[in-house]
Structure 1
Amino acid sequence: MTVSVRLDTPDDPAAVLDALRDWQRDGDPVQLHPGDIGWYHRFGAAETAAALRTWSRGGTILAVGFLDGPGLVRLATDPAARRDEELTARIADDFADPDRGVLAAGEADVEAPADSLLRDLLPARGWTLGEAWTPLHRDLAEPVEDPGVTVETVGPDTAEAYAAIVRASFQGSTFSAERWRELAAGPAYADARSLLAVEDGAPVAAITVWTAGPGKPGLIEPLGVDPAHRGKGLGKAVTIAAAAALRDLGASGVDVVTPSDLPGAVPTYKAAGFTPGPERRDLHRPAG
């Protein structure tokens, strides 16, 4: 059977999330997680659907591409199909031809699992190594220690406090309480929690965690600390609280991927009990 591509979600959007949940495995290279789609849902259901691409064979989804911006595709594949030559060739051809509606012409980046055949095929077509990322993992088999900070679950009444910390934490962010309500209304948020760390009655750090179902690794996306309260260990504390929340939700572990050159990020996660894995590089297509 030939591989087909569709340029939006299937009629039942749950099919994409179900595939991504199924593909999350402890010990496998980190790849696109249902939580990544859930976080993007802050822009609304229509824009989230428009950012998705699926590759299927015989009606079964084998790969999902997520356009996280006009020039970046984040790719996840069924682990059993990650070295599938027909599938990989089709994906690479779709990336190369703008008329196929998957990736626009010009400079672009692809994030692919570390053991994907695509990582062999694209360099042979002139792609180079791009931005470096560090994946980190914490196992949740054992109870999580006390984070040493008061943590509240975010709801409509505290959405603006959460949004304010996110805006302050990421340059250029326009995140708002309305966008939190959008993501909380999305199908992936049924397996998620947004948390606020509170100190002396004031919110000081924010984090959201996403599960892929019981016995599957969860994801942190995003983590932010109020700039006025940095340097006090609050990033570590709220990350430990997030790990505890994921364990309560049935997650087997927790993953996070951070830019390798982001100051303080890797040390913060290591302090919260995470172990870094091998650095991963995006695949970059030069302009022209």
Structure 2
Amino acid sequence: MQRRDFSGPADLRAMQHLASRLWSPSSRFHPGQLAWSRYYRPVDPMGLDDGEAIALWTDGGEVVGFGWAEGPDWLELQVDPTRPDVAAEVIDWFEEVSDAETQSALVMEGDVAEQALAAAGFEPQPDEPFFTHHLLDLVDLPPAPTVPGYRFRHVEPHEARSRAAVHAASWSDFGPSKVDERAYEQVMAAWPYRHDLDWVAVDADGTMVASALVWLDPAQGAGLVEPVGCAPEHRGRGLARAVTLAALHRLAEVGGVVAQVSPRGDDGYPGPKRLYRAMGFRPRARTVTWTRSLD
């Protein structure tokens, strides 16, 4: 087994290949989630942010695990469940690259990495905010509604600026968005992005006012909904639901068989969970934060 540090888009694709190979309703990552997490803000494709680190573990040329320290105090990881030994390697690496006194890692409940986290002194925090994978079989997809005064369409390749603007407006409640034109151009260039699965609602003036991005993993037929949003002044009309369903109908047309979305599962931010369950999404596995203190 060998470890290598992240060196650019080829390594992201290798991580996505692992996520695709391992995908199930209870696995941590979908390839589209990794693409969004990498490019939701302008980045150097070949480099990482200050305090960020990524490493991949391979065996016989196949990736069997990766660790993504998004900051000194936060670890994301995925490990082939047939290789629990890799989880211990990832956690040891995280300790090498982190100088934080308190460290946290996010995994799925029951993940193969839990044993290694416990052995390293991490403890589960089940009451911390968590995410729940929700699944919808596309044969049960409800019809996409119409909303008077709006129409729904997919994004065109030249519309990165407008598409970034509607995302930023939709998420303005959480502070200034890092998604700008350059970032969205990088999103559009990333695998497995498809323009025909990136949908928007536009008003009578043609302005984008709501959006839903779906990422299709063709190997699994699984589409991830990430992210969805609606500009504040257009909320309360059902646009988020309608634009998401429009995108999901396109997903079914191009070979998708199941859709996944992962909203917060706790009661701290219940709105998205209610939205998706009303569409027919049903909860499956949840995440758990594990934390240790090194002081």
| Superposition TM-score, scaled by structure 1 size | 0.83
**Separation in 2, partners of 1:192, 1:29:** 27
Displacement of 1:86 = 2.0
| Superposition TM-score, scaled by structure 2 size | 0.82
State whether structure 2 residue 166 is matched by structure 1 residue 161: no
**Separation in 1, partners of 2:220, 2:139:** 10
**Separation in 1, partners of 2:166, 2:271:** 17
* 2:106 aligns with one of 111, 125, 129: 111
User: 8 Å contact 1:37–1:188 — kept in the other structure?
Assistant: no
**Separation in 2, partners of 1:281, 1:242:** 30
Gaps of 5+ in 1: none
Task: Please tell me the residue identity of whatever aligns with 2:92.
Answer: D
Displacement of 1:211 = 1.2
What is the SS of the residue equivalent to 2:197?
A: strand
What is the SS of the residue equivalent to 1:187?
A: coil
What is the SS of the residue equivalent to 2:130?
A: strand
User: 8 Å contact 1:37–1:48 — kept in the other structure?
Assistant: no
**Separation in 1, partners of 2:9, 2:134:** 34
Partner of 2:130: 132
**Separation in 2, partners of 1:243, 1:46:** 33
1:144-155, aligned counterparts within 5 Å?
144-149=142-147, 150-155=151-156
**Separation in 2, partners of 1:250, 1:233:** 26
1:89-238, aligned counterparts within 5 Å?
89-95=88-94, 97-98=95-96, 101=97, 103-128=98-123, 129=125, 130-142=128-140, 144-149=142-147, 150-170=151-171, 171=174, 172-190=176-194, 193-200=197-204, 201-238=206-243
Most deviating of 43-52 and 112-121: 43-52
Partner of 1:41: 39
Partner of 1:6: 4
Task: Please tell me the residue identity of whatever aligns with 2:5.
Answer: L
**Separation in 2, partners of 1:168, 1:10:** 30
What is the SS of the residue equivalent to 2:159?
A: helix
User: 8 Å contact 2:132–2:285 — kept in the other structure?
Assistant: yes
What is the SS of the residue equivalent to 1:64?
A: strand
**Separation in 2, partners of 1:60, 1:276:** 31
* 1:74 aligns with one of 60, 73, 76: 76
Task: Please tell me the residue identity of whatever aligns with 1:133.
Answer: F
Displacement of 1:142 = 4.8
Displacement of 1:62 = 0.8
Task: Please tell me the residue identity of whatever aligns with 1:136.
Answer: H
Task: Please tell me the residue identity of whatever aligns with 1:63.
Answer: G
Task: Give me the identity figure in percent.
Answer: 26
Task: Please tell me the residue identity of whatever aligns with 2:177.
Answer: S
User: 8 Å contact 1:144–1:243 — kept in the other structure?
Assistant: no
Gaps of 5+ in 2: none
What is the SS of the residue equivalent to 2:129?
A: strand
User: 8 Å contact 1:9–1:54 — kept in the other structure?
Assistant: no
Provide closer, same or farther for how the CA distance between residues 209 and 63 of structure 1 changes in structure 2, counting only shifts above 3 A.
same
What is the SS of the residue equivalent to 1:267?
A: helix
**Separation in 1, partners of 2:270, 2:55:** 33
